[in-house]
Amino acid sequence: MTSLFAKTISMGKDLKISDQEFSGLRDFIYEKCGIYIADNRKYLLENRLGNRLKKLNLRNFDEYYNYLRFDVGKEVELKRLFEVITTNETSFYRNPPQLKVFQEQVLTDVVKQARTKGRKMRIWSAGCSTGEEPYTISMIIHELLKSEVSQWDIKITANDLSERVLESARKGVYNDYTLRTTPPEVVKRYFASDNGSNAIKADIKKLVQFGQINLKDRTQLRRVERSQIVFCRNVIIYFDDDMKKRVINAFYDNLLPGGYLVIGHSESLHNITRAFKPIHYPGAIIYKKEE
Q: Give the closest residue to 95 by CA, choosing from 182, 221, 21.
A: 182
Q: Could you write out the DSSP letters of every residue in 43-83?
A: HHHHHHHHHHHHHTT-SSHHHHHHHHHHSTTHHHHHHHHHH
Q: What is the 3-state secondary structure (H, E, C) of 78-94?
A: HHHHHHHHCCCCCCCCC
**C-alpha dist (Å) from residue 198 to 88, 176, 193:** 19, 7, 4
Q: How far apart are CA 147 and CA 65, in angstroms?
A: 53
169 domain-assigned? yes
Number of domains the chain contains:
2
Domain boundary among 56, 85, 114: 85
How far apart, in whole angstroms, are the C-alpha atoms of residue 127 and residue 105? Answer: 23
Looking at residue 231, what is its pLDDT?
97
Instruction: Single out the residue in 43, 60, 85 at which a domain terminates.
Output: 85
The long-range contacts involving 164-170, CB below 8 angstroms and separated by at least 24 positions, are 164/79, 164/83, 165/83, 165/86, 165/88, 165/129, 165/130, 165/131, 166/128, 166/210, 166/211, 166/212, 168/130, 168/131, 169/128, 169/129, 169/130, 169/131, 169/134, 169/210, 170/131, 170/210
- For residue 262, what pLDDT is reported? 97
| DSSP category for residue 222 | H
**pTM, full prediction:** 0.84
Q: Kindly state whether residue 90 falls inside one of the protein's structural domains.
A: no
Q: What is the pLDDT along the chain (291 residues), one digit of tens a residue?
A: 333 323 333 443 468 899 999 999 989 998 888 888 888 888 888 888 988 898 899 889 999 999 998 888 888 898 888 888 776 668 899 989 999 999 999 999 999 999 998 999 999 999 999 999 999 999 999 999 999 999 999 999 999 998 989 999 999 999 999 999 999 999 999 999 998 899 999 999 999 999 999 999 999 999 999 999 999 998 888 899 999 999 999 999 999 999 999 999 888 898 899 999 999 998 899 999 998
Residues 49 and 142 in one domain: no
Check if the beta carbon of residue 207 is closer than 8 Å to that of residue 172: no
Please give the helix or strand (H or E) that residue 249 lies within, else none. Answer: helix 241-254
pLDDT at 118: 93
Same domain, yes or no: 51 and 141: no
Question: Are residue 152 and residue 214 in the same domain, yes or no?
Answer: yes
Residue 14 shares a structural domain with residue 151: no
d(CA 276, CA 273): 7
Q: Which of 32, 52, 85 is the endpoint of a domain?
A: 85
